[in-house]
C-alpha cells in the first residue's frame, strides 16, 4: 500500500445549534423549514444511509428520528447553512459568445460542446446530464461517451429540479479520469462545498458548468401551471425564457408565450433568496443572455475551462460572436433586486 | 493447415468371409462364456458397501462457525446462488446452504479464506421435503444425519494390470480433517481520513466490534482495534465515501 | 308316501353316483404314477375315503403330465426360473450382480415372483384407439396354442394323448402362436405395434419353413411322427445323428421365440416392444411370458426329437417320475442356452434375418432332410 | 408426383392433429396420400434420447427425416450473461457431462486468450490428461449407448463399467466423478498427486486390456458388423457439405483435428496420430472412435511420463498475492479473490476445441466494463453434425435409425445446450 493508512483518525463535527436534536433535525429546522433550501440535493448526496430524499418535492428524510445516524454530513455540505448570498458577475478570464457547430442545444449548444470536448481531451470520462421523458420530467443520464450526447432528449433546458448531485455520488466513485457536472448556481455552490468536505470530490469532479439562472421550478408545479394555461408539455419540443417571456415550442412549430411574472406564485421559496445569477463559483458559466439568438454566452472562469475553450478553438468546433457583458450585468443586478436576502417580510 | 496432420491411422472396415464370420461368432460366445464362469464383477452393493472416496471429495458441506469471518465471499462466488447469508443473533452473517440448488462444485470451499467451510464425504442424504433441503447455519455445523447400512469399504486398486475391488471391513469415516488454513492477514484501515464524513456506518456494521467511536470536543474519533478486526471487509463494503480499505497486516 | 318315495329316489341316486365315481376312480387308479419314494404315503392316503379320489386324480398319468410336470406347473416353474436365470446370467457376463434385493439369501430367485405381483396389481391401461375386447382377450387366448402341445409330449410313459400324428399337431399348434401375436398387434391399433406386427409376420415366414423342414427331417429319420416311438427309437440321440437339423431347429427356435439376435419383432430400442407396446399391467406380464412359454414348449420338443426325450440314467427312487425329471431338465437346459445368447448378440435387421432364414437355414434344412433320408434308407437306425 | 397419389380421400391420423408437429399439415397429408408412413420417434421412445425425429418411411426405407431438437434446451448462453466469468465454468460443463473437461478447456482458453494469460507447463499437461480422460469417457459412454441401441446389452454394460475407471480417476484428482469444474482460467484448481497420476497410468492399462474383450464381444461381432457396415454412409464430399465435425468427419476421410491444427495445451509436445476412415459408414464412425480411445490412452501415458513439476496456476492471475507459493500448488482459500476480478477487455474472443464428439466453439463477447460476459456463443458438436446425421438417415431402413443414431453418438442435451 503506497498510501498511508490510519487505524485512528478524527473528523470534526459541525456545530450543533440545538442540543438534543439529530443533525438532520437541525438542518430541517434552520434551512428547509425556514424556506431558504435551494433544493440543490447536496445533502441527499452525502447522506451515508441514503435517507434524504429529493426528487420532485422538498428535501425530506422520512423517519429521520430513527434512521438518521447523526453524522452531521448534511449540515457540513449544505450551501445554505450559514447562508451568505453570492452575487455579481464573479471573476472571469474571458467572456465569449459562441455557437456549436456539432451540437444543437437550447441556444448555442455550448454546454454539450464543452462536455464533449472535455471528454475528447480526456479530462473527464463521464458527465451527468439531465434528460427528459415525454412529460418533460427530468431524467438523470450518465453520459459516458460523446455519442450519447447526440440524443434528442438531452439537449434543452427543463426548468425543473433534478437530482443531479445525488447521482454525482455514484459517478464520483466509479470514474477513472474525472466527472463533469452541469448545474444551476445553487448546485455549483453545493458541489464546491462538497469538495471542501470530502477530498474525493475535489479530486474527481473536474469540471463544473454553471448555468445562468433566475429561478427553477418543481416539475409537478410547473406542469400543472402550464396545464392551467392550456399548454400540453407532452407535445412540446422546447421551452425557453427570453426577454421576460416563457416560450413553449410545439412539434408542429407553433409557439405559445406568456410573461414570466405570472410564475411568481410557483417560484420555490429557496429561489427567492438566491442572488447568484451567473454561477459565480463554477468553472465556466453558460447562458443565453447577452448574445444573439442561437448563440450562448460563455464566461470562462478557471484554468481548466480555459484549456477546454482553447481546445475547442483549436479544433474549430464553434462559431464565435461578440458578447454583450452589459446585458448579463443587468440581469445579475435584476436578480439581486427581486430576490432580497434576508427576505422581505410579507404583510 | 492440412499439411500439419501428417500422422494418421487408416481405419479399414473388414470384409468378412464365412470363416471369419464363424470365428467371430465363436469368439463372442467364448468371451461371454468365459465371463459367465469367471466374472469380472465391478458392482458395489451400495447401501451395504461404500466406495472409498478421497479426502478432497466434494460432498455435503460442513461449517465451522468459529472460523467464519462473515466475508460473504462464499455466497458471492456460488454459481448456483445456493448460499444465503443469514443474520445471526450475534450481529454477524453466516452462510446457509440450499441443497436444492447446490451443485457441489465446492467453489465456496475453495473460496473460504479461513477454511470455515469443510468438505465431507457425505453425498447421499435423503430429504423428506424441499424445505428440509435448506440447511440453516445450525444444521451445517454438524454433519448431516443419515441412515448408515454400510459395513464395508470398497477401494479400487489396480493389480497386475487389472482392476481389483479391495474390500475392507470397516465403517467408512465420512468427515474430513479440517485443513489448516493460513490466516489471510487482512486488516481494515482508513486510507483517506480526509474523505471521512464521520457517518459511523463502519462502527455500526462491524460484526466484531473492532471499530470504536468517541466524541470529544466537537470531534468524532474513530479507532480500529487490530486485535479484534478479522479482516472481513464488511466496513469497507459499507463505507459511503470509500475511505476504508483492507491492508496487509 | 311322498316321504318314502323321495327317500327311495335318493337311495338310487346315491347308488348311481357311487358306481359312476367308482368307475372314474377305477380309470384313475389303473393308470397311476408309480413313485417308490412316496409309495407308502400314497398307500396310506388311498385308504382314506375322500382323499383317495384326489390322490388318484393327481397321480393319474395324463393329469400329471398336463397339470403338473411337464405341463402347467412345470411351465410356471420354468418360467420363474428362466426369467431369474436369464437376468442373473446376463448380469454375471456384464460384470453386475443381477436381481438380489428380493430374497438376498437365495440369490434373488423370488424376483420374478415379485415382478409378477407388481404386474398383477398394476393398472391395465387400454388406450382409446385399441379394439377393446380383442385387446384384452388375445393375451389370454394365446395360452391355448401354447399349452395344447403339452398334451402330446411324452415323458416316458407319462403322457396325455398318444397319437401317430403328434408331431404335425404340435408343429401346427406352435405355428398358431405368431398368428395370435399378430392379432394382438392388430388389436393394439398403434403405429409401433403395426410395424412390430408386420415384422412378426415377415419373421413367421422366415423361420417357419426351415423349422418345419427340420422337424420333417427328424420325422423322416425316425420313420414315424409318434413322439413316444421317436423317444423309443433313440438309442443314439438325434442330435448326433442329424446335427444340422438340430442346428436349424435351434436357430429357428431363437427366431420363433424372439431371442436376441432375432428379437426383431419386439425390438425394444427401435419400436418399443412392437406388438406389445400398448400393454400394461398383468396383460403385459402375459404377453411378455408368451415367448418364454413358447420357448419351453420348443425346448420340450427339442429334447424329445434330439436329446432322447425322457431317457436318461434311471433314478430308482422316482420310478415313473424319472423320465419326467430328465425331460424337464433337458428342456430347461435348452432354455438356458437360449438365455445365454441374449448377452452375446445384438439384434439383426429384419432383412438380414429373412435372408438368413430363406437362404442358409432353408438350405441347411433341406440338407438335413437329405441326411435323414440317407440315414433312414441306410438303415443305420434300429 | 401427383399421379403417384392413391385415389383415396386420406385424412392424417387423429394423433397428428392435436399434437404440435414441427412439420406443415400439407407434409403429413402428402406423405399419407403417397402411401408413405410417418413415424414419430421420440421424445418418449427408448431409442431416441430427448429429441424427436419425424421419420417418413416408404415400406421400410426412410425417405425423409426431420429432427425436432430443443426438448432439453436450457438457455445456457443466456444464463451465462448473468454470471461472473468464473461462475460459468460449472454451467458450461453441463451440456455434455462426461465431456466436462473438454468443455471447460474451451471456455477457459477463450478467457486466457482475451487476458493474454500464460498457462504454466504442469497445468497444461494436467489439462491434457483430463481432456483425454473425458474423451475416453465420452467415447465409452457413446459406445455403451450405441450398443444398447443395437440391442446388445453386454456392449452397454462393459463400456459403462470401464467408464467407472475414468470417474474414479476424476474422483481422486478433483473430488468429483463427472462434473469436475477443475480447469480454471490460468491453470487448474489443484495439483494432482503422483499417486493419482500413477492410478491414471495404471487404469489406462486396464482399459486397454478390457477393451480387448469388448472388441471380441461387440466390435468384431459379426452380427454387429452386419448391422453397421454400409449403413448411413456419408461420403467425404457430403460430410464436408453438411458440416459434420469431429470423429464423424474423420470417418468420412477428412483428416481434420483441432488438437493438431491449433495444438493447444500439450498436444503439440506429444506423439499421437489422427485416426482417419474412408468409408464413412456407421461402422467406420464407430471404429474411428474406438481407435481414438487407444490414441487417447497413448497421449495420457506420454503426458504422465513427461509431466514437469511446477506451479499449476499462472502468475498473471496470482498477481501480487503474498501467499504465492501456496496458491501455485492449490487455489484453496483464494478462489474468489483471484477469479472474481476477471474482466475481459472489450471485444470478441473465440476458441476452438476438439471435444469428445467434435469441434466445440466458444465465442465470448465482452463490453470491457462489466464482470459478466456480454454474450457467450457456444456451438456444440452435436448441433453441428445434426444435419449430417439427418442426411445419412435417408435411404436406410427404419431399424437402422438407432444404429445411425448411435454411430453419431448424438447427445441431445449437448446439441440443445
| Mutate which: A1, A2, A8, A200, vs B, most B CBs within 10 A | A8
Please tell me if residue C104 touches chain B, with a CB cutoff of 8 Å.
no
**Three cell numbers at D69?**
431438437
On chain B, the residues whose CB falls within 8 A of the CB of C340 are 32-33, 36
Q: Under DSSP, is residue A183 helix (H, G, I), strand (E, B) or coil?
A: strand
Asked if pLDDT for residue D417 goes beyond 60, the answer is: yes
Which pLDDT does position C381 carry in this prediction?
A: 58
Residue D7 located in a structural domain: no
Which chains have 3 or more CB–CB distances shorter than 8 Å to chain B?
Answer: A, C, D
Q: Could you give the dihedral angle defined by the CA atoms of residues D235, D238, D243 and D246, in that order, rounded to the nearest 10 degrees?
A: 0
Residue D160 located in a structural domain: yes
Instruction: Flag the least confident range among A218-222, C185-189, C297-301, D209-213.
Output: A218-222
In contact, D303 and D277? CB cutoff 8 Å? no
The answer to whether residues D107 and D239 belong to one domain is: yes
Catalogue the E-assigned strands of chain A. Answer: 8-12, 94-100, 126-132, 138-143, 179-183, 205-211, 236-242, 245-250, 255-259, 284-287, 296-300, 318-321
Domain boundary among A77, A102, A133: A77
On chain A, the residues whose CB falls within 8 A of the CB of B221 are 8-10
The answer to whether residues D83 and D223 belong to one domain is: yes
> Alpha-carbon distance D149 to D154, whole Å?
12
CA distance B202 to chain D (A): 22
Which pLDDT does position D19 carry in this prediction?
A: 57
Comma-separated ranges of CATH 3.30.70.3270 domains in chain B: 54-143, 186-248
End-to-end C-alpha distance for chain C, whole angstroms:
73
CB contact under 8 A, C272 and D46: yes
> Alpha-carbon distance D136 to D142, whole Å?
10
Do chains B and C have 3 or more beta-carbon pairs under 8 angstroms?
yes
Which chains have 3 or more CB–CB distances shorter than 8 Å to chain C?
Answer: B, D
Listing from the earlier edge strand, what are the strands of the sheet with B211-216?
Answer: A8-12, B219-224, B211-216
> Alpha-carbon distance D353 to D380, whole Å?
10
The answer to whether residues D119 and D55 belong to one domain is: no
CB contact under 8 A, B197 and A198: yes
On chain B, the residues whose CB falls within 8 A of the CB of A5 are 189-191, 245, 247
Please tell me if residue D333 touches chain B, with a CB cutoff of 8 Å.
yes
Residue A194 located in a structural domain: yes
Question: Across the interface, which of B189, B192, B198 has its CB nearest the CB of A13?
Answer: B198
Which chains have 3 or more CB–CB distances shorter than 8 Å to chain D?
Answer: B, C
Domain B186-248 CATH assignment equals 3.30.530.20: no
Residue D151 located in a structural domain: yes
The helix or strand, by DSSP H or E, that contains position D358, with its residue range, turns out to be strand D358-366
* D253 φ/ψ sector (left φ>0, alpha ψ -120 to 50, else beta): left
Which string of DSSP letters, residue by residue, matches C153-203?
A: --BTTB-S---TTHHHHHHHHHHHHHHHHHHHHHHHT-HHHHHHHHHHHHH
Question: Across the interface, which of C95, C344, C345 has its CB nearest the CB of B39?
Answer: C95
| Mutate which: B36, B49, B164, vs C, most C CBs within 10 A | B36
Q: pLDDT tens digit string along A28-37?
A: 888 888 778 8
The answer to whether residues A113 and A71 belong to one domain is: no
**Three cell numbers at C359?**
437362404
> Minimal CA–CA distance to C74: which of C313, C367, C310?
C310
> Alpha-carbon distance B126 to B200, whole Å?
47
Residue D169 located in a structural domain: yes
Residue D4 located in a structural domain: no
Segments forming the whole domain that contains residue D173: 76-416
Question: Across the interface, which of B36, B42, B43 has its CB nearest the CB of C93?
Answer: B36
pLDDT in tens, chain C (382 residues): 445 556 666 666 666 667 777 787 777 777 777 777 788 888 888 787 778 778 877 877 778 777 877 878 888 888 888 888 888 888 888 888 888 888 888 888 888 888 888 888 888 888 877 888 888 888 888 888 888 888 888 877 777 788 888 888 888 888 888 888 888 888 888 888 888 888 888 888 888 889 998 888 888 888 888 888 888 777 778 788 888 888 888 889 888 888 878 888 788 777 878 788 888 888 888 888 888 888 888 888 888 888 887 777 777 777 778 888 888 888 888 888 888 888 888 888 888 889 888 888 889 888 988 888 888 777 665 5
The answer to whether residues D32 and D120 belong to one domain is: no
Which string of DSSP letters, residue by residue, matches A258-302?
A: EEGGGGGGGS-GGGGG---SS-TTSSEEEESTTS-TT-EEEEE-S
Residue D216 located in a structural domain: yes
Q: How many CB atoms lie under 10 A from the CB of residue A196? A: 12
Which pLDDT does position C15 carry in this prediction?
A: 67
**Three cell numbers at D225?**
458388423
Q: How many domains does chain A have?
A: 2
Domain boundary among A46, A77, A108: A77
Segments forming the whole domain that contains residue A40: 2-77
Q: Could you give the dihedral angle defined by the CA atoms of residues C264, D231, B21 and C208, in that order, rounded to the nearest 10 degrees?
A: 30
Q: What is the pTM of this model?
A: 0.73
| Mutate which: B43, B46, B165, vs C, most C CBs within 10 A | B43
Burial class of residue D345 in the structure, from the number of CB atoms within 10 Å of its CB (0-12 exposed, 13-18 middle, 19+ buried) = exposed
- CA-nearest residue to B188 within chain A is A7
Residue D334 located in a structural domain: yes
CB contact under 8 A, B35 and C92: yes
Catalogue the E-assigned strands of chain B. Answer: 8-11, 49-51, 61-63, 83-87, 93-98, 117-119, 134-135, 152-159, 162-168, 186-190, 211-216, 219-224, 244-248
CA distance D100 to chain B (A): 12
The answer to whether residues D47 and D84 belong to one domain is: no
CB contact under 8 A, B43 and C95: yes
Which pLDDT does position B31 carry in this prediction?
A: 87
CATH architecture of B54-143: 2-Layer Sandwich (3.30)
The answer to whether residues D399 and D327 belong to one domain is: yes
CA distance C303 to chain B (A): 23
> Minimal CA–CA distance to A269: which of A342, A331, A337?
A342
Q: pLDDT tens digit string along A83-118?
A: 777 777 777 888 888 888 777 776 777 788 888 888
Question: Across the interface, which of B31, B78, B158 has its CB nearest the CB of D217?
Answer: B31
Question: Across the interface, which of C95, C129, C346 has its CB nearest the CB of D227?
Answer: C346
**Three cell numbers at C363?**
438350405
On chain C, the residues whose CB falls within 8 A of the CB of D14 are 129
DSSP conformational letter for A83: -
Which pLDDT does position A347 carry in this prediction?
A: 43
The answer to whether residues D34 and D135 belong to one domain is: no
In contact, D186 and D119? CB cutoff 8 Å? yes
Asked if pLDDT for residue D151 goes beyond 50, the answer is: yes
Measured CA to CA in angstroms, residue C109 lies from A79, C94, C172, C207, C328 at distances of 93, 18, 34, 33, 19
Which pLDDT does position D318 carry in this prediction?
A: 78
* A290 φ/ψ sector (left φ>0, alpha ψ -120 to 50, else beta): left
End-to-end C-alpha distance for chain B, whole angstroms:
54
Please tell me if residue C92 touches chain D, with a CB cutoff of 8 Å.
no
> Alpha-carbon distance C196 to C272, whole Å?
9
The answer to whether residues D101 and D61 belong to one domain is: no
pLDDT band at A155 (very low <50, low <70, confident <90, very high): low
Which pLDDT does position A142 carry in this prediction?
A: 81
Asked if pLDDT for residue A21 goes beyond 60, the answer is: yes
- CA-nearest residue to D216 within chain B is B28
On chain D, the residues whose CB falls within 8 A of the CB of B74 are 336
Q: pLDDT tens digit string along D54-90?
A: 888 888 889 888 888 888 888 888 888 888 888 888 8
- CA-nearest residue to D272 within chain B is B7
The answer to whether residues D186 and D279 belong to one domain is: yes
Which pLDDT does position B2 carry in this prediction?
A: 44
CA distance A284 to chain B (A): 26
- CA-nearest residue to D217 within chain B is B28
Q: pLDDT tens digit string along B166-224?
A: 888 887 777 777 665 555 557 788 877 777 877 788 888 777 778 888 887 778 888 88
| Mutate which: C85, C86, C97, C338, vs B, most B CBs within 10 A | C97
On chain D, the residues whose CB falls within 8 A of the CB of C95 are 157-158, 161
Average pLDDT over residues A158-181: 78
Residue A245 located in a structural domain: no
pLDDT band at A2 (very low <50, low <70, confident <90, very high): very low
**Three cell numbers at D149?**
441401441
The answer to whether residues A177 and A63 belong to one domain is: no
CB contact under 8 A, C272 and D155: no
On chain A, the residues whose CB falls within 8 A of the CB of B204 are 69
On chain D, the residues whose CB falls within 8 A of the CB of B44 are none
Instruction: Flag the least confident range among A111-125, C321-335, D35-49, D270-284.
Output: D35-49
CB contact under 8 A, B11 and D278: yes
The answer to whether residues A163 and A16 belong to one domain is: no
Q: pLDDT tens digit string along A37-76?
A: 888 788 888 888 877 887 777 777 887 777 788 777 888 8
Instruction: Flag the least confident range among A217-221, C370-374, D21-25.
Output: D21-25
Average pLDDT of every residue of chain A: 78
pLDDT band at D96 (very low <50, low <70, confident <90, very high): confident
Asked if pLDDT for residue A136 goes beyond 50, the answer is: yes
In contact, C36 and C321? CB cutoff 8 Å? no
The answer to whether residues A126 and A16 belong to one domain is: no
The answer to whether residues A172 and A63 belong to one domain is: no
In contact, C261 and C342? CB cutoff 8 Å? no
The answer to whether residues A40 and A115 belong to one domain is: no
Q: How many angstroms from the chain centroid is the CA of residue A20?
A: 34
Please tell me if residue C356 touches chain D, with a CB cutoff of 8 Å.
no
CB contact under 8 A, B161 and D209: yes
> Alpha-carbon distance A232 to C161, whole Å?
109
Residues 1-30 on D with a CB inside 8 Å of B are none
CB contact under 8 A, C92 and B29: no
- HEC profile for A222-243? HHHHHHHCCCCHHHEEEEEEEC
Give me the CATH number covering residue A40.
3.30.70
Please tell me if residue B32 touches chain C, with a CB cutoff of 8 Å.
yes
Question: Across the interface, which of D221, D227, D399 has its CB nearest the CB of C267?
Answer: D399
Domain boundary among A77, A106, A139: A77
In contact, B10 and D287? CB cutoff 8 Å? no
In contact, D153 and C342? CB cutoff 8 Å? yes
Q: How many domains does chain D have?
A: 2
CB contact under 8 A, B110 and D333: yes
Which string of DSSP letters, residue by residue, matches C354-381?
A: HHIIIIIIHHHHHHHHHHHHHHHHHT--
Amino acid at each position: 500500500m503506497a498510501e498511508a493508512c490510519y487505524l485512528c483518525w478524527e473528523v470534526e463535527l459541525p456545530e450543533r445549534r440545538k442540543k438534543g436534536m439529530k443533525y438532520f433535525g437541525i438542518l430541517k429546522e434552520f434551512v428547509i423549514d425556514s424556506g431558504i433550501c435551494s433544493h440543490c440535493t447536496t445533502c441527499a448526496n452525502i447522506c451515508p444511509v441514503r435517507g434524504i430524499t429529493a426528487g420532485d418535492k422538498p428535501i425530506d428524510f422520512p423517519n429521520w428520528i430513527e434512521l438518521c445516524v447523526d453524522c452531521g454530513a448534511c449540515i457540513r455540505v449544505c450551501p445554505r447553512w450559514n447562508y451568505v448570498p453570492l452575487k455579481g458577475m464573479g471573476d472571469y478570464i474571458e467572456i465569449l459568445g459562441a455557437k456549436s457547430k456539432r451540437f444543437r442545444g437550447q441556444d448555442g449548444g455550448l454546454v454539450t460542446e464543452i462536455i464533449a470536448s472535455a471528454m475528447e481531451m480526456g479530462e473527464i470520462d463521464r458527465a451527468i446530464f439531465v434528460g427528459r421523458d415525454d412529460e418533460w420530467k427530468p431524467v438523470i443520464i450518465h453520459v459516458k461517451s460523446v455519442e450519447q450526447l447526440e440524443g434528442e432528449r438531452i439537449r434543452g433546458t427543463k426548468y425543473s429540479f433534478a437530482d443531479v448531485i445525488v447521482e454525482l455520488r455514484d459517478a464520483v466513485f466509479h470514474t477513472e479520469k474525472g466527472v463533469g457536472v452541469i448545474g444551476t448556481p445553487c448546485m455549483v455552490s453545493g458541489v464546491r462545498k462538497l469538495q471542501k468536505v470530502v477530498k474525493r470530490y475535489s479530486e474527481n469532479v473536474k469540471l463544473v458548468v454553471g448555468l445562468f439562472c433566475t429561478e427553477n421550478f418543481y416539475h409537478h408545479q410547473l406542469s400543472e401551471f402550464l396545464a392551467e394555461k392550456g399548454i400540453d408539455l407532452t407535445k412540446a419540443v422546447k421551452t425557453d425564457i427570453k426577454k421576460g417571456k416563457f416560450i413553449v415550442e410545439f412539434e408542429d412549430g407553433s409557439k405559445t408565450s406568456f410573461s414570466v411574472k405570472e410564475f411568481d406564485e410557483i417560484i420555490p421559496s429557496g429561489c427567492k433568496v438566491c442572488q447568484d445569477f451567473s454561477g459565480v463559483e463554477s468553472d465556466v458559466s453558460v447562458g443565453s443572455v447577452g448574445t444573439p439568438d442561437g448563440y450562448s454566452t460563455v464566461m470562462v472562469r478557471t484554468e481548466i475551462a480555459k484549456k477546454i475553450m482553447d481546445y475547442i478553438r483549436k479544433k474549430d468546433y464553434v462559431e464565435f460572436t461578440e458578447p454583450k457583458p452589459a446585458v448579463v450585468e443587468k440581469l445579475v443586478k435584476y436578480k439581486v433586486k427581486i430576490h432580497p436576502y434576508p427576505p422581505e417580510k410579507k404583510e | 493447415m492440412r499439411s500439419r496432420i501428417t500422422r494418421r491411422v487408416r481405419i479399414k472396415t473388414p470384409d468378412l468371409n464365412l470363416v471369419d464370420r464363424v470365428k467371430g461368432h465363436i469368439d463372442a460366445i467364448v468371451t461371454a462364456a468365459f465371463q459367465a464362469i469367471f466374472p469380472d464383477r465391478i458392482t458395489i452393493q451400495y447401501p451395504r458397501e461404500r466406495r472409498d472416496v478421497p479426502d478432497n471429495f466434494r460432498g455435503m458441506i460442513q461449517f465451522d462457525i468459529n472460523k467464519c469471518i462473515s466475508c460473504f465471499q462464499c455466497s458471492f462466488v456460488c454459481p448456483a446462488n445456493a448460499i444465503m447469508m443469514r443474520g445471526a443473533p450475534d450481529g454477524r452473517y453466516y452462510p446457509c446452504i440450499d441443497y436444492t440448488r447446490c451443485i457441489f462444485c465446492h467453489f465456496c470451499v475453495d473460496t473460504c479464506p479461513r477454511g470455515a467451510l469443510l468438505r465431507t464425504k457425505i453425498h447421499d442424504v435423503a430429504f423428506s421435503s424441499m424445505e428440509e433441503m435448506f440447511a440453516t447455519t445450525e444444521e451445517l455445523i454438524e454433519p448431516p444425519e443419515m441412515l448408515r447400512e454400510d459395513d464395508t469399504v470398497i477401494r479400487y486398486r489396480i493389480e497386475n494390470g487389472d482392476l481389483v475391488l479391495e474390500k475392507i471391513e470397516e465403517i467408512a469415516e465420512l468427515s474430513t480433517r479440517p485443513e489448516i488454513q493460513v490466516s489471510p492477514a487482512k486488516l481494515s484501515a482508513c486510507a483517506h481520513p480526509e474523505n471521512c464524513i464521520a457517518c459511523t456506518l463502519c462502527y455500526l456494521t462491524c460484526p466484531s466490534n473492532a471499530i470504536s467511536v468517541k466524541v470529544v470536543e466537537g470531534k468524532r474519533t474513530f479507532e480500529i482495534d487490530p486485535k479484534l478486526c478479522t479482516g472481513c471487509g464488511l466496513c469497507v463494503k459499507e463505507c459511503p465515501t470509500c475511505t476504508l480499505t483492507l491492508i496487509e497486516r | 308316501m311322498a316321504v318314502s318315495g323321495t327317500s327311495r329316489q335318493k337311495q338310487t341316486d346315491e347308488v348311481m353316483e357311487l358306481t359312476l365315481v367308482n368307475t372314474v376312480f377305477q380309470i384313475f387308479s389303473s393308470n397311476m404314477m408309480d413313485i417308490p419314494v412316496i409309495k407308502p404315503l400314497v398307500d396310506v392316503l388311498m385308504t382314506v375315503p375322500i382323499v383317495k379320489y384326489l390322490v388318484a386324480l393327481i397321480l393319474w398319468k395324463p393329469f400329471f403330465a398336463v397339470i403338473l410336470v411337464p405341463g402347467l406347473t412345470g411351465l410356471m416353474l420354468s418360467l420363474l426360473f428362466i426369467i431369474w436365470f436369464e437376468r442373473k446370467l446376463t448380469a454375471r457376463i456384464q460384470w453386475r450382480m443381477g436381481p438380489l434385493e428380493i430374497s438376498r439369501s437365495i440369490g434373488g430367485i423370488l424376483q420374478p415372483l415379485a415382478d409378477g405381483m407388481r404386474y398383477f396389481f398394476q393398472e391395465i391401461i387400454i388406450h382409446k384407439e385399441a379394439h377393446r375386447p380383442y385387446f384384452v382377450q388375445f393375451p389370454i387366448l394365446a395360452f391355448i396354442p401354447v399349452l395344447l402341445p403339452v398334451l402330446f409330449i411324452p415323458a416316458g410313459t407319462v403322457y396325455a394323448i398318444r397319437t401317430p400324428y403328434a408331431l404335425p399337431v404340435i408343429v401346427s399348434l406352435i405355428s398358431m402362436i405368431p398368428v395370435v401375436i399378430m392379432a394382438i398387434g392388430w388389436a393394439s391399433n398403434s403405429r409401433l405395434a403395426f410395424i412390430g406386427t408386420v415384422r412378426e409376420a415377415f419373421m413367421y415366414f422366415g423361420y417357419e419353413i426351415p423349422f418345419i423342414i427340420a422337424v420333417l427331417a427328424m420325422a423322416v429319420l425316425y420313420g414315424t411322427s409318434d413322439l413316444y416311438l421317436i423317444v423309443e427309437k433313440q438309442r443314439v440321440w438325434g442330435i448326433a445323428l442329424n446335427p444340422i437339423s438340430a442346428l436349424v431347429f435351434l436357430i429357428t427356435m431363437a427366431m420363433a421365440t424372439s431371442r436376441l439376435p432375432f428379437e426383431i419383432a419386439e425390438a425394444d430400442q427401435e419400436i418399443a416392444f412392437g406388438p406389445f407396446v400398448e400393454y400394461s399391467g398383468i396383460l403385459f406380464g402375459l404377453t411378455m411370458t408368451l415367448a418364454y412359454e413358447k420357448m419351453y414348449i420348443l425346448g420340450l420338443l427339442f429334447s424329445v426329437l434330439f436329446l432322447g426325450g425322457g431317457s436318461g440314467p434311471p433314478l430308482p427312487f422316482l420310478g415313473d417320475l424319472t423320465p419326467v425329471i430328465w425331460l424337464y431338465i433337458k428342456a430347461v437346459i435348452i432354455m438356458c442356452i437360449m438365455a445365454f445368447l441374449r448377452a452375446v448378440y445384438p439384434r439383426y435387421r429384419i432383412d438380414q434375418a429373412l435372408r438368413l432364414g430363406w437362404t442358409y437355414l432353408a438350405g441347411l434344412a433341406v440338407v438335413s432332410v437329405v441326411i435323414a433320408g440317407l440315414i433312414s434308407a441306410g438303415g443305420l437306425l434300429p | 408426383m401427383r399421379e403417384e397419389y392413391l385415389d383415396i380421400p386420406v385424412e392424417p391420423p387423429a394423433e397428428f392433429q392435436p399434437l404440435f408437429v414441427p412439420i406443415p399439415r400439407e407434409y403429413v397429408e402428402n406423405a399419407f396420400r403417397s402411401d408413405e408412413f410417418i413415424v414419430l420417434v421420440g421424445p418418449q421412445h427408448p431409442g431416441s434420447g430427448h429429441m424427436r425425429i419425424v421419420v417418413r418411411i416408404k415400406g421400410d426405407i426412410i425417405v425423409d427425416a426431420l429432427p425436432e431438437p430443443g426438448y432439453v434446451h436450457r438457455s445456457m448462453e443466456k444464463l451465462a450473461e448473468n454470471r461472473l466469468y468464473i461462475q460459468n465454468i460449472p454451467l458450461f460443463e453441463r451440456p455434455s457431462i462426461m465431456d466436462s473437461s473438454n468443455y471447460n478447456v474451451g471456455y477457459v482458453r477463450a478467457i486466457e486468450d482475451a487476458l493474454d494469460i500464460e498457462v504454466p507447463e504442469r497445468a497444461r499437461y494436467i489439462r491434457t490428461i483430463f481432456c483425454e480422460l473425458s474423451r475416453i469417457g465420452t467415447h465409452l459412454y457413446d459406445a455403451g449407448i450405441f450398443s444398447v441401441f443395437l440391442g446388445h446389452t453386454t456392449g452397454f454394460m462393459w463400456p459403462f463399467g470401464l467408464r467407472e475407471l475414468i470417474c474414479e480417476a476424476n474422483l481422486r484428482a478433483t473430488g468429483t466423478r463427472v462434473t469436475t469444474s477443475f480447469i480454471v482460467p490460468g491453470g487448474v484448481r489443484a495439483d494432482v498427486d503422483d499417486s493419482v497420476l500413477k492410478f491414471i497410468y495404471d487404469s489406462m492399462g486396464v482399459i486397454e486390456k478390457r477393451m480387448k474383450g469388448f472388441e471380441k464381444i461387440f466390435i468384431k461381432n459379426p452380427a454387429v458388423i452386419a448391422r453397421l457396415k454400409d449403413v448411413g454412409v456419408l461420403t467425404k464430399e457430403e460430410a464436408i457439405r453438411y458440416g459434420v465435425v469431429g470423429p464423424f468427419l474423420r470417418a468420412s476421410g477428412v483428416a481434420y483435428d483441432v488438437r493438431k491444427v491449433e495444438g493447444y495445451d500439450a498436444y503439440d509436445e506429444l506423439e499421437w496420430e489422427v485416426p482417419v476412415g474412408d468409408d464413412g459408414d456407421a461402422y467406420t464412425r464407430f471404429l474411428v472412435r474406438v481407435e481414438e480411445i487407444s490414441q487417447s490412452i497413448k497421449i495420457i501415458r506420454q503426458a504422465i511420463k513427461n509431466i514437469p513439476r511446477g506451479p499449476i496456476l499462472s502468475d498473471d492471475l496470482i498477481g501480487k498475492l503474498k501467499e504465492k507459493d501456496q496458491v501455485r500448488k492449490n487455489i484453496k482459500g483464494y478462489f474468489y479473490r483471484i477469479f472474481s476480478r476477471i474482466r475481459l477487455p472489450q471485444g470478441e474472443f473465440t476458441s476452438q476445441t476438439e471435444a469428445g464428439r467434435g469441434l466445440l466453439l466458444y465465442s465470448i463477447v465482452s463490453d470491457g466494463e462489466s464482470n459478466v460476459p456480454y454474450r457467450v456463443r457456444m456451438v456444440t458438436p452435436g448441433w453441428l453434425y445434426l444435419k449430417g446425421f439427418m442426411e445419412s438417415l435417408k435411404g436406410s431402413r427404419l431399424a437402422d435409425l438407432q444404429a445411425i443414431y448411435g454411430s453419431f453418438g448424438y447427445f441431445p442435451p449437448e446439441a440443445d445446450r
